[in-house]
Chain A
Amino acid sequence: MSKNDIKVALIGNPNTGKTSLFNQLTGLNQKVGNYPGITVDKKEGKSKLSETQNAIITDLPGTYSINPTSIDESIVLKTLLKKDIKESPDVILVVADVENLKRNLLLFSQIKDLEIPTVLAINMVDQMSRKGISIDLSLLKEELNTEVVLISARKNEGINDVKEAIIRCHVAAKASPLCGINHQIDPDYFDKLKEISPNFSMYELWLMVTQNNYPEEISSEEKQKLLDFKKDITKLKKYQHKETIYRYQEINKILKKTYIVDKSKAKDLRSKLDRFFTHKVFGYVFFVILLLVIFQSIFDWASIPMDFIDAMFAEIADFTKDNLPEGVLTDLLTEGIIPGIGGVIIFIPQIAILFLFIAILEETGYMSRVVFLMDKIMRRFGMNGKSIIPLISGTACAIPAIMATRTISSWKERLITILVTPFTTCSARLPVYAILIALVIPDKKVFGFLNLQGLVLLALYALGFASAVLAAYILHKTLDVKSKSFFVVEMPNYKLPSIKNVFYEVVEKTKAFVFGAGKIILALSIVLWFLASNGGEKYNNAEKYVTENFVNQGLSDDEIQQKIASVKLENSYIGVLGKSIEPVIKPLGYDWKIGIALITSFAAREVFVGTLATIYSVEADDEDTTTIKQKMSSEINPETGNKRFNFPVGMSLMVFYAFAMQCMATLAIVKRETKSWKWPLIQLFGLALLAYVSSFITYQILS
């Protein structure tokens, strides 16, 4: 960043299109969606304003005012109160929704009073004619005493005007308060406040008092004086109310002259759709059918490309083996890396379909209706209607889901939501479930149209939700945390999903999944392969041992080779390690090879399949390379002579993965969001115990 770059902060009500504008200005692809609270953290990007001028743009969470009631909103206040030259914004770009300009201007008026240069971008002007809105732009500029631009971030209109306005505003460095609340409410009181420090504007000092947020630059003496103002808390509260009323009065005066809505021209789709989606019967029925459709399609649509990818990787491994000279490196490629990577790539179709559905749901505005439908129910379990968003988006990944809890203002409800979110079936579990279901559940239709495998998958998702809710209930009854529950949610307009947004969302998330898991599996498969193809004395003497012991049993050459391979694997380093934990997992129905996969998937669940693929490849008799599914289904349990992955083992494994907290990244995020090691550790050990006990019961009952 160079010294001349203008620092611009994007501020505005939730869901007004700040991130859409940010993406247009910077060329980045940050997540956009149609419900309040998509952005919950700061994000910076660079933008070229003109040939000679660059800017650093900061995207921020949405907020209705600078009086925060939740973590995401307080990030905005902190940014605004910064006095540090390096960090404090030079220009504030307020993004407002044209449809609800009045409410959006409240925040604008507060920011103006901080006396920072401000540009007002009125977004979504593409909606103006449909809603019968017209604006007198030049008069509005004059009345607000600020640069005002009309834009449509989604249609990429007016972006250059924004850039020019930022430059003009920065050069003029003109900043004057809009409302000047002091004279209207209690001049003496506010004059006394202003005298405390010459370095801050009156409104900044007022915010410090009301928000209990004191920047470093304030001296302890000054702080003491500010604290005196807090003594009369009723007066403070009353003045805050008065301030808000006064601001609205001023805004109304201005809008009366400049903003006209012709109601007769407005088309109202919202109320019709709402009548259906929030209906007491159809609302829930629709929600359930929607979920059913999603899980059916994950299985039905994805199976063709998945089988194709699976076969392709087998071909690639074959091809590599045939064409590269024999040796250690070729072995590493064909037995370690290729099957390992294949174990991740194969799941792209399913993951992408899941992400596609989530992205569409988020873009239509339906999510907020689910929040509305679910609040009462969620409250019984110690959560909040808003908790449903992490629980749904947690089906993609728990990490952004846990971040999304920042919009929940009550700490207890937020903590409970964070703790139970890992129960929801994230996309990393999907690979494990998918392969196990394909192995142990017959592919047939029930009732003529429902795919049984899809139903089992749905049941596993239901198990996840049910345990999340149950765990929440237990926490609700046992956690001794006091905090007030409060709930206001804005219901956004319904929108047709923007194809571009949905596309990027699916691509970005799928990419993150593949590369995230890919990196781990690449590293792990090399290590695994090494540990599986080396060993101690017994490993090296395997051939001798087998020929000596089995020579008289009339085995064919092939069988002898196979025998040698398995004795080798058993005595390799990884084999010894796996064998040592076998007694612990045997009651769950697992052998040591599955045990190895359990250990590696503590880093990330999705490496389970890749790990098994690598292990089985090392052991496999070298001639034919088979697909992952064939490898797993032909694995025999030597004790019974039956398939290793039979029904009880498959079910027990699925139950294990449903509960176990096998994700380092989630633990790290929980640590960050709860600011202590206590909660992630409780999660880790509590869930491990739960997983073990439930799998044990499952296996023992079924076998």
Chain B
Amino acid sequence: MSGYAIEAVGLRRTYRSRTGWLRPQRREVEAVRGVDLTVGNGELFGLLGPNGAGKTTTIKLLNTLLIPTAGTARVCGHDVVTQTREVRRRIGYVFGGDRGLYDRLSARDNLRYFAELYGVPAREQKRRIAELLDLVRLTGREQERVEGYSRGMRQRLHIARGLLHRPRVLFLDEPSIGVDPVAARELRRTVADLAATGTTVLLTTHYMAEADELCDRIAVIANGTIQALGTPAELRHHADGRQVLEVEAYGVADAQLAAIHALPGVREASVTVTGATQVLTVQSDAGVDVQAAVLRELDGVRLGRVTARQPTLEDAYVAIVNRINAPTRPLEAVGG
């Protein structure tokens, strides 16, 4: 038996769905297309990728809720297809969002029920529940019905539920989605504390900063495959040899963005909107000064501040994710 908490080899999952009734149409989505992963005991591992990348599907393959179309996976040495009971005893699963709790019950009764389901011995239940309510700071509110809970409180209760049976491996699927910044920071602290006490954590997120702050290693996933894997410092190297130009603008058209993307030396170009302002971010090869050419393309657009800067981890992430538009390359482990 190996010493890994999680091992996945060539994991694939295709969804087949039928829509329509009179004239049914078959649709196939290859959500996960060959994922290889190993996560060590006690490691805090991040699965980072845009919406629809296949993060949730990967987690559901690992936590026994879905059967892989191909490939194998083991959690604590147990096969996720054939040894479900062994796997389930050792894992906790938390996902973001409002749902997944019994609204009519109090927090305590929610935990009591799942303590039964997850096999917490009767004489330990009371103490364990009190301990967890304390950990997620719901003590004092535990008798209230969950339907009155805020999003952040629900999220903390989700975490308490996931920890009831002291799982060795915890799957956290976008735990901070829709949670306010303060709550998100507390949540990150809780996760870090867990990892510090030896729990293996597999965390998915589409927030770069969250992964950067928490994770020992990060796999960037897009289109169902892992595009890059390494420590945050290693991933930063994906933007090596590039520089970044940021332009504040008001009214950049799609055609202009496409033209900028096509400029010689330009690697990435994207626009984000904050309020009335657009921010155009252009990544280019470090040796090429694209500023003049970019501004020429933006002729007629009202512009604000123009800044040139060094690439960040965020830029590296954008570079990695956008690479899938280019011809596929084999998995690269970037040396540090």
Chains A and B are bound partners: no
